Amino acid sequence: MAGRLGSLRSVADERLHRRGSDLARRLEVLSGIPTYYYLYRVGGLSATEERARPCPGCGGPWALAAPLHEIFDFKCEPCRLVSNLSWDFKE
């Protein structure tokens, strides 16, 4: 698990992610509209582990009871992140 968590954290350090997050924050400030950064997800070991994965930004719970807009299975308000259940496990 530590390796998987480490790989999630490495994604957060990528230049593209930092740039996208920064642009989303700027857009929110300028528009006054909550703006979320989408983390596309593939892979994972099992559907159960996927549903239990923590927010990669803060480590908190972020799984939604029902998908938002039929695609987003995860949402973290403080981090302004959304993501999908890995496409490998979507029904």
Q: Which two tokens stand for residue 64?
A: 């939604």
d(CA 65, CA 9): 25
pTM score above 0.85: no
1 pLDDT band, cuts 50/70/90, is: very low
Percent of the chain having pLDDT more than 70?
A: 86
Detail the DSSP E strand segments found in the chain. Answer: 37-39, 63-68, 72-76, 81-83
Question: Do residues 74 and 55 touch, judged by C-beta distance below 8 A?
Answer: yes
Domain ranges of the chain: 2-83
65 pLDDT band, cuts 50/70/90, is: very high
Nearest to 85 by CA among 63, 65, 61: 63
Given a cut of 60, whether residue 9 has pLDDT beyond it is no
Given a cut of 70, whether residue 13 has pLDDT beyond it is no
Query: How do strand 81-83 and strand 37-39 relate by DSSP bridges?
Result: parallel
